[in-house]
Structure 1
Amino acid sequence: MMFNIDINNDFADKAGPGGWNDPDIIAINQDPLGIQGKKVAFASSRFPNVSTEIVVANCSTSSKIEPKRLQWIYNSQDGTIRSALNRRCLSINNCSTAEGATIVLSECHINDSQTQCQGKNQQWTVGTADQTVISQMNGKCLNVNLLHGPNVDAHTWDKQDYQQWLWNTTDGTVRTKHDGQCLTVLQELEIWAGSLSDHSQAVVLLNRGNSGSESITVKWTDIAFPNDQAAIVRDLWARKDLGIFIGNFTSPNINYHSVMMLKITTMRNKY
């Protein structure tokens, strides 16, 4: 498998969005390593100004999702709905008034004259009678896009249960009345890993974001290595060792829709 990866390095110029290594072509829960690898961790965004997409996820099977990604705080005074994860605001992307405008999580800019639409795209009215969440900017509803699920968008109210939301004050979740799934901050940075025959780990770092680039940190505890163990990290595409690290490795910035492939070998298993 390592030999095949090294061969694929010759096609690096074909990589990138839409290319052979585009994570969008990897089905959810499909093994991108081809070695019975599994998703071992999610990483958090380090850039607060990067917008993150909002989706709905199954609350009952969300143990792999950080709980705060499912929790929301509504402020009726300023109309914001903030994520418990980072206090950023539920927003209509780019202040769009179009049907089906994407809903994202971004920095709050309420009444900020220096920003597009002065944060009006981040103000909502929660209807207790009809269970809707209505944009104060354009009157459109928070809506589950059934054709392109699990995405959430803004759409004209059509009196359907996929535009109605149940607020759970006990656990902080907001659930769609349609099927009970939770409003969720999309997990864009992923770490996949699988054991190799020499007891090293093949690791894939995925940036599923739609803009920008970010570094991803893989912790030794994510890949069943002792936290205090020194390990050699090898970049499989560059075909070079990156150095010896203890406890974790932080990658250089990885572009959106792109991946980095590593082989991590503890010093104990190296010799």
Structure 2
Amino acid sequence: MSAATLATLTNPEVIAVNQDSLGVQGKKVAFASSKLPNISTEIVVANCSTSSKIEPKRLQWTYNSQDGTIRSALNGRCLSINNCSTVEGATIVLSECHINDSQTQCQGKNQQWTVGIADQTIVSQMNGMCLNFNLQHGPNVDAHTCNEQDYQQWLWNATDGTVQTKHDGQCLTVLQELEVWAGSLSDHSQAVVLLNRGNTESESITVKWTDIGFSNDQAAVVRHLWTREDLGIFTSKFTSPNIT
């Protein structure tokens, strides 16, 4: 076990939050899209309900049969096999489209797909692998040898633009890069986690007081539990340094 891992597991302030007597489970209270260019975002399956804390456009897709791309309604980026990998279980991400771009890795062939109407598959034109809902590592989506199972079959909804796995009806979803999670503690403070799910660079994240049950004009002390130091007194919001 590394020294960093040991320090995290034995941090008394983190342990105190985890064992707080109020026993309130933290929940996601806010999210935002990354502002960084050229970021690659992981693709998962998630509940299709619009009542969940997911921007509807993260669930919506369009297929261009001319160039084979599947593009997100969120930002027009392309469904891609990460790093042009040809191995079983290669990660599926959303990234900038580079079809026929000779300056990029594999010239965008990792972003071209064939949508099977009869068998309901989505097959990579680069390596013939199927878009696969990984049941063992759910909710992840990867590229896998086609096997005619329902977790490789996808139902396109022409009305709302969603793509649902035939296995359990969940929707193909662009993972939210920046998230704020919070939970109340017995001393009336809030435990807050700022989470960067992006897989390329670090980025700052802002938590607004109104998202965690405080009034907008309230002054609050922000404490960094990992380093066990107070960062200062802030009003209405706090913006973190870059988080990887």
Which range, TM-score by smaller chain? 0.7 to 0.9
CA 1:116–1:234: 2 relative to 1, 3 Å: same
Cα 1:145–1:62 change in 2 (3 A) is: farther
RMSD of aligned alpha carbons: 2.7
Deviation, 1:227, is 2.9
Structure-1 residue corresponding to 2:118: 129
* Equivalent position amino acid for 1:14 in 2: A
Measure, in 2, the Cα distance between the counterparts of 1:101 and 1:238.
Answer: 36
Q: Note the C-alpha offset of 1:94.
A: 0.8
User: CA–CA distance in 1 between the matches of 2:68 and 2:103?
Assistant: 19
Task: Rate the CA distance shift 1:32–1:197 in 2: closer, same or farther, 3 A.
Answer: closer
21, 24, 35: which one aligns with 1:36: 24
Report the equivalent of 1:89: 78
- Residue 14 of structure 1: aligned partner: 4
Alignment counterpart, residue 144 of structure 2, candidates 152, 155, 168? 155
Cα 1:133–1:19 change in 2 (3 A) is farther
Residues 223 and 197 of structure 1, relative CA distance in 2, 3 Å threshold = same
Identity of aligned residues (%): 80
Measure how far apart 1:64 and its partner are: 1.9
Over 3 Å counting, the alpha-carbon distance change for 1:203 and 1:149 in structure 2 is closer
- Please say which of residues 188-197 and 167-176 is displaced more in the overlay: 188-197
Tell me which moved more, 102-111 or 193-202. Answer: 193-202
Q: Using a 3 Å threshold, how does the CA distance of structure 1 residues 239 and 135 change in structure 2: closer, same or farther?
A: same
2:123 matches 1:140? no
**Conservation of the 8 A alpha-carbon contact between 1:48 and 1:106:** no
- In structure 2, the residue matched to 1:103 is 92
1:56-71 to structure 2, matched below 5 A, reads 56-60=45-49, 63-71=52-60
2:222, 2:94 → 1: CA distance?
A: 34
1:259 alignment counterpart: none
Alpha-carbon offset, residue 61 of structure 1: 7.7
SS at match of 1:226: coil
Tell me the residue number matched to 2:14: none
Structure 2 alignment gaps of length 5 or more: 11-16
Q: CA 1:182/1:62 → structure 2, altered by over 3 Å: closer, same or farther? A: farther
- Given candidates 217, 220, 239, the residue that maps to 2:209 is 220
| Residues 34 and 198 in structure 2, CA contact (< 8 A), matched pair in contact too | no
Change (3 A) 1:148 1:237: closer
TM-score (norm 1): 0.76
Other-structure match for 2:13: none
> Paired residue for 1:75?
64
Q: Structure 1 pair 236/97, CA: closer, same or farther in 2 (3 Å)?
A: closer
Instruction: Point out the more displaced range, 139-148 or 37-46.
Output: 37-46
CA deviation after TM superposition for structure 1 residue 120, in Å: 0.9
When structure 1 is superposed on structure 2, of 153-162 and 233-242 the one drifting more is 233-242
Distance 1:32 1:254 in 2: 22
Q: Tell me the matched-pair count.
A: 234
**Aligned equivalents of 1:41, 1:210: Cα separation in 2:** 19
Taking a change above 3 Å as real, the CA distance of residues 240 and 158 of structure 1, as seen in their structure-2 partners, is closer
CA distance in 1 between counterparts of 2:101 and 2:30 reads: 36
Deviation, 1:199, is 3.4
- Show the counterpart of 2:41: 52
Aligned partner (choices 80, 105, 118) of residue 116 of structure 1: 105
Q: State the TM-score, normalized to the length of structure 2.
A: 0.83
Deviation for aligned residue 1:218: 0.8
What SS does the corresponding residue of 2:136 show, helix, strand or coil?
coil
Q: CA deviation at 1:202?
A: 2.5
How far apart are the structure 2 equivalents of 1:223 and 1:162? 37
Write the letter of the residue equivalent to 2:4. Answer: K
- How far is 1:195 from its partner? 2.8
Query: Is the counterpart of residue 249 in structure 1 residue 232 in structure 2?
Result: no
Residue type of the alignment partner of 1:129? A
